[in-house]
Structure 1
């Protein structure tokens, strides 16, 4: 039996490896971090963006893919070919409002649209049937905040910064649109919020390359005073976009880089990947300079319960990037996820591909059985369960075998040698098949 706990190496970078993500917009709601992102298509050269995706976490290390929550099709009056750019979601009155920049069909200029949903996971529906903010130059990257007095503010813009006061319904505004004086080093991607009586405007700093800068004010409408860099300009990232939250006693900044793109090709494409770092505010409310993503990261906070249902698309890491820790699987492909009307699930599980789930707490008694809901299995398909590494101690092997056609979900169960305490869990897929060995929807252990 295993006894020693796995060392905490911190949150992986990037936090999503199954596809390209950008423009992180975190929302804390009911104890969960909901991370909304834009999405670069796998074949993108320049910007090719058609939808918005959602990931969620309660420990900052394991992120569950919640699928597409809105797309250009949500706004049928918009151009359907591109421009699903940086979103943000906010909760009010039991509803969730998604603000996003798009272009109107037949127009070259951006507008800001708003969609609404009854849950954080959507689906979001068009709230107005028309733009909230009419066409303008540089009208993109909306950010929204509701102040302590209930007044909501919507900011946006590149290279100028604009704002308007939203009405309580969150889908209309009062007063005029105001253009602010230029903030030093400001380019785009604003992230506006209030904290302890101070107001912050984080942003992607002057292109190119872009870091993350910020300004502060005593009022939600400024004047804004530049305070410095959170992330330095770095040639490894031509773009950026911050998102900042407090969660479970810590403060976190999200942004993006191109590490996954360059792991797959030496050629620069607009195929970005979201990362996160933890920080602490200085005594005067200012934010320290964190350098770059390779100099800082976030710890896992809490552990994962393997005895509750765990969605298979809950992933701390899968293949695609070569790392010394995975020497035995340097060139193992990563899994990916798919979505149908009923679920998001893991697919493209090829031989030697794997999923790492970080910080799994098996307790002191240990696990006795493992069950997974699978489909599309091939005759030799199996799932090996390893602790702490892809070639770490073997906890058990689940023979999957034939399950019938894809989409016909079946449960498979196997005995395991009960691991104790906290370990990283590796689900390593094996078998012979020219394509995917199996699909997996969810899993759990039993005592």
Structure 2
């Protein structure tokens, strides 16, 4: 029996659910290739620090670390670059901005990252510090915290209940050290773990939950799954407990990040879906993914299926009557073979960052779009839509649709042909028909320009 195109679209997008049942899309970031997720829960927000694979990467080509944040686990806001190789001017600048992790202590935020030093093929672990989660992070020492020694990569950090901080790292061995309270120095020896799990490869993720210590990690290459071990103390011995996720031939690598947030538990990793959506050739162009899980009563973690396109359920809806950053996205048509048009080729939106505006949406072309999941318009219909835009090619518009890309049109905002790039202004249009919790699609229309206009933020009005 032939599958109708509409049914295929619904299956691929999981957007034919009843209104209000919003879910995250996997991969959770589509505007860039991202890897090595390091989630941090702080003051009611999930901050997701990631490595960044360059668009033209074949092997590993990584120059900076980026940040995304969410309060609902379905929509993620691009917070931009928070640190880069330039943060550490004494390091190799051409590559090697590998897997980071950030932790908060005493009002400061500490970023640990593995990089390379000039004149040596070996790795070091550097530390940078910031006054807020979004940085900018600044080099804390002017030199490595740990190393250089080959295999000193993938740092993971946790502060125990007694205030003692531990830093683990390593490939293929696992090491740890006790950090001092200043978080930029350590006391005692660097210890190689004798009880390393048999399938440990790299990418450790160390944390404590209830009375259990956990060490999740990328399991033996290749391909890599996610394994984990547990211990009764912060330094082991580590008892292998199995796989959080089995290896999958579609992904040579992996890197876990596990957090609890608003009473739910989440594991992050990555796949290569966006790379393979563009080419059948394997490149190191990865995409961060996420799923919700529940611990077993004894604290063990049940085996999870491989990442699919349906992510975790949305925790709470978006309030559209406050300012919403345009770079808050559940899904966008960034990839060239778009999930809504499986056999069509089209450019997609991305984001830019500057000192004046921070992060905003740019490279908007005809038929590209942004989906915001689970927007709560309330019982009284919205009356107007306002967007902060810059530039505007002739005839450029933002088409507002509900629930799906071909859903009901609630209004069309005329953007062009007024304004110059970099000159921001608010534009307004009357809207109708929006009540309750709905998915919002902002579909961009226009011709004759590589980038039709830029968008900084939006909101609805009663």
Shorter-normalised TM range: over 0.9
- Shift, 1:286, TM fit: 0.2
1:212: which partner in 2? 226
Conserved? CA contact 2:200–2:227, under 8 Å = yes
- Shift, 1:377, TM fit: 1.1
Alignment of 1:19-98 (within 5 A): 19-98=32-111
- Shift, 1:295, TM fit: 8.6
DSSP-derived class of the 2:410 partner: strand
2:453: which partner in 1? 438
DSSP-derived class of the 2:86 partner: helix
- Shift, 1:410, TM fit: 1.0
DSSP-derived class of the 2:413 partner: strand
1:356: which partner in 2? 371
DSSP-derived class of the 2:52 partner: strand
Which of the numbers 167, 189, 198 marks the counterpart of 1:184? 198
2:283: which partner in 1? 269
Q: Distance in 2 between matches of 1:72 and 1:423?
A: 41
Conserved? CA contact 2:26–2:309, under 8 Å = no
Q: Distance in 2 between matches of 1:248 and 1:275?
A: 19
- Shift, 1:151, TM fit: 0.3
Conserved? CA contact 1:329–1:390, under 8 Å = no
339-348 or 65-74, which moves further after superposition? 339-348
Q: Distance in 1 between matches of 2:283 and 2:248?
A: 16
In structure 2, relative to structure 1, the CA distance for the partners of 1:296 and 1:374 (3 Å cut) is: closer
TM-score, L = length of structure 2 = 0.94
In structure 2, relative to structure 1, the CA distance for the partners of 1:339 and 1:323 (3 Å cut) is: closer
Q: Distance in 2 between matches of 1:341 and 1:150?
A: 36
**1:90-141: CA deviation from partner (whole Å, max 9, x where unpaired):** 0000000000000112211100000000000000000000000020120000
Q: Distance in 1 between matches of 2:338 and 2:150?
A: 43
2:120: which partner in 1? 107
- Shift, 1:330, TM fit: 5.1
Q: Distance in 1 between matches of 2:323 and 2:402?
A: 19
Which of the numbers 427, 434, 437 marks the counterpart of 1:412? 427
Q: Distance in 2 between matches of 1:366 and 1:395?
A: 10
Unaligned runs of 5+ residues in structure 2 are 1-16
- Shift, 1:29, TM fit: 0.4
Q: Distance in 1 between matches of 2:142 and 2:449?
A: 46
DSSP-derived class of the 2:308 partner: helix
DSSP-derived class of the 1:297 partner: strand
Q: Distance in 2 between matches of 1:361 and 1:54?
A: 26
TM-score, L = length of structure 1 = 0.97
1:159: which partner in 2? 172
2:237: which partner in 1? 223
1:391: which partner in 2? 406
- Shift, 1:54, TM fit: 0.1
- Shift, 1:327, TM fit: 4.7
1:313: which partner in 2? 327
Unaligned runs of 5+ residues in structure 1 are none
**1:255-305: CA deviation from partner (whole Å, max 9, x where unpaired):** 000000000000000000000000000011000000211297311110000
2:304: which partner in 1? 290
Count of residue correspondences: 443
Q: Distance in 2 between matches of 1:424 and 1:26?
A: 25
Aligned: 1:429 with 2:444: yes
Which of the numbers 188, 196, 200 marks the counterpart of 2:214? 200
Conserved? CA contact 2:229–2:239, under 8 Å = yes
Q: Distance in 2 between matches of 1:210 and 1:148?
A: 32
**1:51-91: CA deviation from partner (whole Å, max 9, x where unpaired):** 00000000001000000000000000000000000000000
Q: Distance in 1 between matches of 2:370 and 2:389?
A: 15
Q: Distance in 2 between matches of 1:297 and 1:389?
A: 17
Q: Distance in 2 between matches of 1:434 and 1:401?
A: 11
DSSP-derived class of the 2:275 partner: helix
DSSP-derived class of the 1:11 partner: strand
DSSP-derived class of the 2:395 partner: coil
In structure 2, relative to structure 1, the CA distance for the partners of 1:328 and 1:169 (3 Å cut) is: closer
In structure 2, relative to structure 1, the CA distance for the partners of 1:265 and 1:71 (3 Å cut) is: same
**1:137-162: CA deviation from partner (whole Å, max 9, x where unpaired):** 20000000000000000000000000
- Shift, 1:14, TM fit: 0.2
Q: Distance in 1 between matches of 2:403 and 2:113?
A: 40
Q: Distance in 2 between matches of 1:332 and 1:412?
A: 27
Conserved? CA contact 1:403–1:410, under 8 Å = no
